[in-house]
Amino acid sequence: MAVKPTPGRRASPPAAATPDAVHRHLGRRVKHLRTERGWSLEALANASGVSRSMLSQIEREQANPTLAVTLRIARAFSMALGDLLETPGATSSVTVIRADDRAYHYRSDRNCRIRTLSPLHLEKDVEFYEVQLQPGGALRSASHFEGTREFLTVQKGNVRVESASDAEKLNPGDSASYRADVPHAIVNIGRTEAVVFLVDIYR
């Protein structure tokens, strides 16, 4: 589930940065982004159109890629060129996840769409999601880690929350908390789309 978010306003490397410093930073940045997304070099090569050997050289800071190559890599990560070349201290302290950023669509099919609303590259104990369920759709989950709880608020529609053998019906504006270290589910029991906001808290 861990994907690199698309931050908000970012700046390009400062003018004082030397070309060598930029290339070193680019190598570390590409490797960091690729690893966070769980991509192999081959996967990034397929997504960017840049050869595996070139990507390997970039990550090992042994290549000086052209602007065109760097742009292809940025696009593979769904980022602007300036975002890819960001340097520490040159970014906004505000992280933004855009509504149309498909990198955050954890699951999408005709019955259920899950969009993460929290920066998954961070090590954390809380995850935040938007879940859209079509009529009859359900999000069923196996037991999470011991002590995990979920907190849910219904924005639209009518749902049933199930946690082990317990179940409750919820309407717009209702909230619920329940054990998520047992099999659990969110089921759309209405005739229209249901939208809920879901928070997972790991202990």
Which CATH architecture describes the domain 102-201?
Sandwich (2.60)
Residue 48: CA atoms inside 13 Å, Cβ hemisphere, count? 27
pLDDT for 12 equals 37
Where are the CATH 2.60.120.10 domain residues in the chain? 102-201
Position 1 pLDDT exceeds 80:
no
Query: Residue 137 — very low, low, confident or very high, per pLDDT cuts 50/70/90?
Result: very high
3-state secondary structure 96-135: CCCCCCHHHEEEECCCEEEEECCCCCCCCCEEEEEEEECC
pLDDT for 96 equals 76
User: Coil, strand or helix: which one is 63?
Assistant: coil
* Mean pLDDT score, 59-84: 85
34-48, 122-136, 184-198 — most confident range: 184-198
Where are the CATH 1.10.260.40 domain residues in the chain? 1-96
Are the beta carbons of 106 and 114 closer than 8 angstroms? yes
pLDDT for 64 equals 82
Evaluate whether the domain defined by 1-96 bears CATH number 1.10.260.40.
yes
Question: What are 118-135's pLDDT values in tens digits?
Answer: 775 555 688 899 999 999
- Looking at the DSSP assignment, which residues form a beta bridge with residue 160? 169, 187
Position 66 pLDDT exceeds 70:
yes
The span from the CA of 124 to the CA of 145, in Å, is 14
Percent of the chain scoring above 70 in pLDDT: 80
Decide the pairing of beta strands 126-133 and 105-108: unpaired
Which 8-state DSSP code applies to residue 9? S
Position 5 pLDDT exceeds 50:
no
Q: What is the dihedral of CA 180, 184, 190, 195, to 10 degrees?
A: 40
Mean pLDDT taken over the chain: 81
